[in-house]
Amino acid sequence: MKPLQLPVLFQIALVHMLSHMHVMTVPSLLPLLPASISVDFVELGLAVSLFNISSALMMEIPMGFASDRFGARLML
């Protein structure tokens, strides 16, 4: 059987959707996590904040500048 060939744009959109699902799922689980992993809300909030800040600084901003400078087609 032939493997499924998906267009590149669809693959990128799927991975982008999964990234958003991850970012939206973790905060919705915050009320349940402290008891199950023995941490408090401050530590969880700090972890989520650091993830979002590092994502913005290391990925979102540089990729935005690069796609503005070199074009979206080249960046994909």
Read off the pTM. Answer: 0.61
pLDDT digits (tens, 9 = 90+) for 17-75: 988 888 888 878 888 888 888 889 899 889 888 988 988 888 888 888 998 999 988 88
Rg (CA), the chain: 17
What's the chain's length in residues?
76
Supply the DSSP string of 3-40, one letter for each residue: PP---HHHHHHHHHHHHHHHHHHHHHTTTTHHHHHT--
Amino acid at residue number 39: V
pLDDT for residue 70: 93
